[in-house]
Structure 1
Amino acid sequence: MKFTKYHGTGNDFILLREEDLEGREESETAKALCHRNFGIGADGLLIVKASSVADLMMAYYNQDGSVAPMCGNGLRCFARFAHEDDLVETDRFQVETLAGILPVDVSSGYDSIRIGLMKPSFHLTAPHVRREVYEGEILSLTVNGRSYDLHVLFIGTLHGVVFTEEEVPYEDADGLCHHEFFPEHINVNFVKVESEDDIRLVTFERGVGYTLACGTGAASAQVIAHKLGFTKPQAKVHVDGGTLEVTVGDQVVLEGPAVCIAKGEMEIG
């Protein structure tokens, strides 16, 4: 099976064209390829498919084989793959995802790919949450005897944002991610505001765990930080894998690099 591997600020992905699957089941293929000991190793699998409503369609699977509607870092890598392999004819094109049709722009080069995200929603209902959550509501959740205040939103995927000056224990991050309040689990972002232009972020991603970066997590962190008056509309989001830039306006725009790591072939049962 032919594959290409990319990363966006350390968030790494395997990319395939749909025909490269040769009929293999997608979720099981994702688990096999993304396994870091017995596969190539990655946070997720991106599959390029034809679309009847956009230039291309992106299917995304987490490392554990679960489906995710959207992945910000993944979409940037998808955009570079499509552009480099001449699957599109322009620098600006549209990609169909489970979170909607999203615009991408590679005209500034692969170090600065811009993608538009869906309009964030702060009013949440089932199946994302156990009970209705209204805009402006802060959820106080307790895990392992410690209380955390979560600002929740849906921006293609479900995210919670926690402002904290302290490092959060792994078991607490995992406990929040899998809290019973979220039937399908939630991505959790721990944010430190450094200035009105800069925030620092660590994300615990459902289906993956701690990641070096999460694009929709970076967007969620900046959306909430700006909504609360902590940051300007445009801010840099510093993650362990590098720096992303998020602009909040009529559309939330995420900007950052997409780097090709390797191309090759792998035998898979």
Structure 2
Amino acid sequence: MNLRFYKYQGTGNDFIIADNRKNEYSLNTDQIRRLCDRRFGIGADGFMLLNEKAGYDFEMKYYNSDGREGSMCGNGGRCIVKFAYHLGIHRNEYKFMAVDGEHEAEIDTDGTVSLKMKDVDKVRKIHGDFVLDTGSPHYIKLVTDVMNADVYKKGRDIRYSKDYEENGINVNFVEQAGDHEIIVRTYERGVEDETYSCGTGVTAAALVCYHNENGYNDVQVKTLGGSLTVEFDRLDDERYNNIWLCGPAEKVFEGNVEVKES
């Protein structure tokens, strides 16, 4: 099978995307895993198909680099919106379907893509840490020197602990850098390593590090791959809505690859 692919990245979180509106691509776990392999394939944190969806501009189908279908990916969502724009799907406001439900998005004049995330109605506190779902499940650990944290080892220990081993969880290490600024590093399940950025993780970290007791918040987030902004309304300790993840999404290259049967 010959696959026409497009490589996109959002703050270093990179994805292989294919236009599947004609329903011509059907890849299995092994094929996706090999495409995402950085030595034997194209290399990416994830793989996405842009599908037709009645009543929506498109459907986002997301797979982790291990080849298995994943939960919501925030940076992936922003990248696929920019991809849709490059395909000629031009909207003032995009509406698309993902695994966690309907999403809205906008592209600003400077190319910034703003993605509306799902509402959050529960935040659990565990031994001073936090667990919440922003489209994907996230564990938030506040630290004082995040750039020297052993994200791979400590993140893997939590992800494979008895509470999370079966379904997995993304683990975020977060440092408060200022009144409205945090630094986030993330160990991602499905990738099973640290990534340069994680959109749903950045969102979860920003919600936990709110500044206004009630009302509107605007948090600047630094990741290894660049900067993002998370805007949201805080209703109380556990409920947040009108959540937007904002930042760059750029095409890196495009090409064709022969996908071998497996």
| Structure 1 counterpart of 2:36, one-letter code | C
User: Which has more strand, going by share of residues?
Assistant: 2
Alpha-carbon distance between aligned partners in 1 of 2:206 and 2:49, rounded to the nearest angstrom: 28
C-alpha distance after superposition, 1:222-256 (max 9, x if no partner)? 00111796xx7101100010000001123110100
Cα deviation, residue 107, structure 1: 3.4
**1:198-209 correspondence runs (5 A):** 198-208=181-191, 209=193
Aligned pairs for 1:116-131 (under 5 A) are 116-122=116-122
SS at match of 1:14: strand
Aligned with 1:72 (options 65, 71, 74): 74
**Stretch moving more, 49-58 or 198-207:** 49-58
Could you tell me how far 1:19 is from its partner in structure 2?
A: 5.8
Residue aligning to 1:267: 258
User: CA offsets, 1:108-134, max 9 Å, x none?
Assistant: 342x11010000232xxxxxxxxxxxx
| 1:146-170 superposed Cα distances (whole Å, 9 cap, x missing partner) | xxx4200011110011000133322
* Corresponding letter in the other structure for 2:210: H
What whole-Å deviation, never above 9, does each CA across 1:189-230 have from its counterpart, x for those lacking one?
A: 10000111110010111011101001111110000111796x
Secondary structure at the aligned position of 1:265 is classed as strand
Question: What residue ranges of structure 2 are gaps of 5+ in the alignment?
Answer: 234-240
Which residue of 147, 158, 162 corresponds with 1:180? 162
The two structures have a TM-score, normalised by structure 1, of: 0.85
2 CA distance for matches of 1:198 and 1:164? Answer: 14
CA contact (8 A) 2:211 2:217 kept: no
The structure-2 alpha-carbon separation of the partners of 1:20 and 1:33, relative to structure 1 and needing over 3 Å to count, comes to farther
Which letter does structure 2 place at the counterpart of 1:207?
A: G
Q: 2:230 is aligned with what amino acid? A: V
CA distance in structure 1 between the aligned counterparts of 2:125 and 2:220, rounded to whole angstroms: 24
Show the counterpart of 1:103. 104
Q: What pairs up with 1:1-269 in 2 under 5 angstroms? A: 1-18=3-20, 22-86=24-88, 88-110=89-111, 112-122=112-122, 135=123, 137-140=124-127, 149-166=128-145, 167-169=148-150, 170-182=152-164, 183-208=166-191, 209-226=193-210, 233-249=217-233, 250-269=241-260
| TM-score where L is the length of structure 2 | 0.88
Structure 1 consecutive aligned stretches of length 4 or more whose deviation exceeds 4 Å: none
RMSD: 1.8
Quick one: percent identity of the two aligned structures? 30
